[in-house]
Structure 1
Amino acid sequence: MAEPDSDDSLNPMSILIDELQNEDIQLRINSINKLSTIALALGVEKTRSELLPLIIDIMYDEDEVLLALAEQLGTFTPLALVMITLCHAGEDTSWRVRYMVADKFTELQTAVGPEITKTGLVPAFQNLMKDYEPEVRAAASHKLKEFCENLSADYRENVILTEILPFSQELVSDTNQHVRSALASVIMGLCPILGKDNTIEHLMPLFLALLRDECPDVRLNIISNLNCMKEVIGIQELSKFLLPTIMELAEDAKWRVRLVIVEYMPLLAGQFGLEFFDAQLHSLCMSWLVDHVYAIREAATNNLKKLVEQFGKEWALATVIPRVLTLSEEPNYLHRMTTLFCINVLSEVCGQDITTKHMLPTVLYMAGDPVANVRFNVAKSLQKIGSILENSTLQTEVKPILEKLTQDRDVDVKYFAQEALTVLFLA
């Protein structure tokens, strides 16, 4: 019997190596598809000892080939692809490749299993989290929660605390806001994994730092996921840490800092619930209605609609509307105008009955205000809420007041009163 042909030129691995060395970049890229078959034929040991060193040596600094390799991870997960990509994850190659590695990292994790994850992927993930390209750091940050969830239970907590969170702490103060935003979108998901004590000790400082972040998306992502922490440590523990930070932001001398917490109050209220809000945050929300900065007053006014949508009309009637109506008696005319602005937004969610019985009388009363700015805002408010009032109310209560205002000594008051009459009665 003839001896088997031992010519290396017919050896599939030799053919693959030749193709990877070919000057035609497309041929080299296409040869990647053959790695699965070759790796399976060789087995794990030979793949590691024979195939990988050759391929790594050939493909080092070949960005196009590496890019194609990373793209293949969406459909291929053989050991050869995984290990080659891992070897290059922290190397100084194209950032596009490292980005793809980060984006597919949990697929790598699933492919290699828990042991290789612990010894190989954890260091590689650390490298991606500290990569010098922000796009790569952001991609890795997005995968943080999923990567940690997929760690084997016997070493998960220790790896997170000792090898993942130290890098996460650096990302909290990353110079790129997209990196911080990516981290903020997932970091709270570690709470159920780490438990109450570890959450308070290790995650709470990160949470509070991100809550103070200058980027709106970062703050929004943190507050949107607040429920994850609340379920783990309880609302009382959470409020103990959170309320001082909220008060610090709410009382900051810089109005733009105050505006940060004002704008997110409805979201916070939804996370905490009615009982907590009434006890801890309601008074703070109402105090913003008389802030000396218009932007704060405006944001606080707009919040009322969102809060009533969450907690209901009866809650508004019992706790919000009485406070709003008392502003109509304030010496500062700006505060009296805030009453009208609040009524405008509250009428939309409180409906005809509450508006007619509880808020309309105050608007009509304020038509006699000594300040013209208040009077013409009365006309504008009557036009605004008139659309939800019954016709009989419009005819008997609203129309006479508007007609009186058309005779006002101030031209602006006349103008807005006439406009309201036109819209409500002549349109």
Structure 2
Amino acid sequence: MDPLGDELTPIAILIDELKSEDVQLRLNAIHRISTIALALGPERARDELIPFLRENVDDEDDEVLLALAEELGKGMEEFVGGRDYGHVLFIPLEHLAVAEETLVRDKATDSIIKIAAILSPSQLEEYYIPMLKRLSQGEWFSSRTSSASLYASAYPRVSPDTQTELRKLFTTLGGDDTPMVRRAVSKWLGPFAKNLSRDHVISDALPLYRKLSQDDQDSVRLLTVEDLITIAQQLGPAEVGSQLLPQLRSSVTDKSWRVRYMVANHFVELAEAVGPVIVRDEMVTAFVQLLKDNEAEVRTAGAGQIPGFAKLIDNRETILAKIIPCVKDLSTDSSQHVRAALANQLSGLAPLLDKEATIENLLPLFLHLLKDEFPDVRLNIISKLEQVNSVIGNELLSQSLLPAIMELAEDKQWRVRQAIIEYIPLLATQLGRTFFDEQLANLCMSWLGDSVYSIREAATINLKKLTEVFGVEWAKVAIVPKVAAMGSHPNYLYRMTTVLCMTTIGPSLTVEVIRDHVLQVLLTLITDPIPNIRFNVAKSLEVMATTINSTPEGRDISEKRIAPAVDNLRRDVDADVRYFANRAFQKAVAMA
């Protein structure tokens, strides 16, 4: 018996819902396709549901078509009879692969590739390859565009004769009159070339790459940069030198900045692919040219590749003679984005140079960038200091850093102050306890009194992290007394910060410190005239009870000091105070 009824069949229900004017109802219907297929059974799903989807799903809403393309690739083959019948799903997916909307086409081809992966070679030859040919020779550019993505996955699993045919079809697509199709071929040439033998890379992929790399559309040429990397990886160094150098040079000097940007953005991968000889003879000069490019976007991309490429040079004298002068120019670049990218990568050069060269060439640049007017530049420098510290040592680095840290800590933009707070634990780890205690401890405490709540909150989290870095004994002397002193401040915000801080650092403290120092402050504030402070004290005491429950002494403290204190708050005039006091009391009693 049909589980969905004799009269109202699953297909009829689906038809009604897909014809609805309500997009959400149509989407719900699509998401239930597997359920409907299960109700119909494999044979009826193949004979009725799949043809219906091909003939009737022509929705005007791309969201519905996208959902269908996705659902068909999510294990739908098990509802149409398993992998032996998985190819029937190509029927609606081929239709979706020709859709006008790019997202729909991409999802359809993704699903086609997933299904093809479970099919046998004979099924691919019988069903997949004919579909691929139809798409490749389709009248609409959308059909031919989709087909480009389907070659790479099928190629290794078909017969040699079919492989020959696929190489010819793919090459034909590369000469298509429509730029969108050529773009798709450029995008998928690399993945396709990975499946070719070395001989076929030379005979088929290389000529197609050369043709596309000289296309009159820069949107096509820029995609060939990754193809160049893939093809270079398939060939030996000698062949790269004889076959690819002209294209490499022309890409670096391309008239379109977007192509040069792609080269700069993938420069390390490109250098790794072409080998050390070409890196030495060609790539250093090319890289310097990109770092001096007229377009800021290209210089920004190049700056992000500096340490990675410098490692491949493997010659300190070349780095000092060729790369460092460009780095110095970039440190004063007119674009803040270039300077920020450089600041994020500059420290990576330090391990490649010795201490003397780092102090002479890099340290002045660090100090210059630490004074940059753009906050991101300064923050990027500070966040990546560990490598520099390992080369030149704490003392010199800390002396150089302090003025910049102080300036950032007092920046008028609260987000800048918040960012430097987040880096303080890292700096503390890098520069050591002595430097911190002498130069940064008071600064960290001053943030607790900031006018912006987010800064005060970040400051308390900072103190917790510092406790984890330097230890509880340090916190007992350096943090807890200073925080406790704020508990008697006439301004209630300071008292509130005291409670917040104790709550935050409490889990990092020992039972003894909580007993002797923290509880004394909290129990004093339990009678504060401000209800917000009283209920936050209750919340804090709940945290303390949870923290100390692991020892008999802690459970005794919960029973004799915390429980009686919050019990009094359970009769407070403020409802919120009573609520949190009840929670804290239950926790304290449970712990006892």
Match of 1:414 in 2: 578
Partners of 1:69 and 1:421 lie apart in 2 by 66
Q: RCO greater where, 1 or 2, for CA within 8 Å and sep 6 or more?
A: 1
Match of 2:101 in 1: none
Greater Cα shift, 317-326 or 365-374? 365-374
Partners of 1:114 and 1:159 lie apart in 2 by 16
Contact 2:213–2:221 (CA under 8 A) maintained in structure 1: no
SS at match of 1:315: helix
1:300, distance to aligned residue in structure 2 (A): 0.8
- Of residues 223, 226, 229, the one that matches 1:73 is 229
Letter in 2 for 1:90: T
Contact 2:472–2:509 (CA under 8 A) maintained in structure 1: yes
Unaligned runs of 5+ in 2: 1-170, 177-181, 549-553
1:174 aligned onto 2:330: no
1:395 aligned onto 2:550: no
1:186 aligned onto 2:345: yes
Partners of 2:504 and 2:345 lie apart in 1 by 34
Partners of 2:308 and 2:297 lie apart in 1 by 18
SS at match of 2:547: coil
Count residues in correspondence. Answer: 392
Match of 1:82 in 2: 245
Partners of 1:266 and 1:236 lie apart in 2 by 18
- Of residues 155, 158, 161, the one that matches 2:321 is 158
- Of residues 257, 267, 286, the one that matches 1:124 is 286
Q: Aligned pair in 2 of structure 1 residues 334, 248: CA closer, same or farther (>3 Å)?
A: same
Greater Cα shift, 256-265 or 281-290? 256-265
Partners of 2:224 and 2:404 lie apart in 1 by 47
SS at match of 1:92: coil
1:283, distance to aligned residue in structure 2 (A): 1.8
Q: Aligned pair in 2 of structure 1 residues 56, 316: CA closer, same or farther (>3 Å)?
A: same
Partners of 1:354 and 1:292 lie apart in 2 by 29
1:279 aligned onto 2:441: no
Partners of 1:337 and 1:107 lie apart in 2 by 53
Partners of 1:71 and 1:65 lie apart in 2 by 10
1:362 aligned onto 2:517: no
1:66, distance to aligned residue in structure 2 (A): 7.1
1:426, distance to aligned residue in structure 2 (A): 7.5
Greater Cα shift, 400-409 or 56-65? 56-65
Please give the per-residue CA displacement for 1:179-236, whole angstroms capped at 9, x wherever unaligned.
Answer: 5554333211112334445544543454346556798876665334212222333222
- Of residues 263, 275, 288, the one that matches 1:101 is 263
1:260 aligned onto 2:415: no
SS at match of 2:244: helix
1:342, distance to aligned residue in structure 2 (A): 1.4
SS at match of 1:155: helix
1:140 aligned onto 2:306: no
Letter in 2 for 1:159: K
Contact 1:191–1:199 (CA under 8 A) maintained in structure 2: yes
Match of 2:506 in 1: 347
Please give the per-residue CA displacement for 1:237-268, whole angstroms capped at 9, x wherever unaligned.
Answer: 21222101111122234433322322221121
- Of residues 293, 296, 300, the one that matches 2:455 is 296
SS at match of 2:313: coil
1:90, distance to aligned residue in structure 2 (A): 2.0
Contact 1:148–1:156 (CA under 8 A) maintained in structure 2: yes
Map 1:7-46 to 2 at 5 A: 23=175
Partners of 1:240 and 1:66 lie apart in 2 by 46
1:331 aligned onto 2:494: no
TM-score, reference length from structure 2: 0.57
Contact 2:539–2:581 (CA under 8 A) maintained in structure 1: yes
Match of 1:242 in 2: 401
Letter in 2 for 1:168: L
Match of 2:91 in 1: none
Contact 2:409–2:420 (CA under 8 A) maintained in structure 1: yes
Partners of 2:530 and 2:272 lie apart in 1 by 70
Partners of 1:353 and 1:134 lie apart in 2 by 58
In percent, how many aligned pairs have the same letter?
41
TM-score, reference length from structure 1: 0.76
Contact 1:343–1:359 (CA under 8 A) maintained in structure 2: yes
Q: Aligned pair in 2 of structure 1 residues 38, 94: CA closer, same or farther (>3 Å)?
A: farther
Letter in 2 for 1:158: A
1:391, distance to aligned residue in structure 2 (A): 3.3
SS at match of 2:571: coil
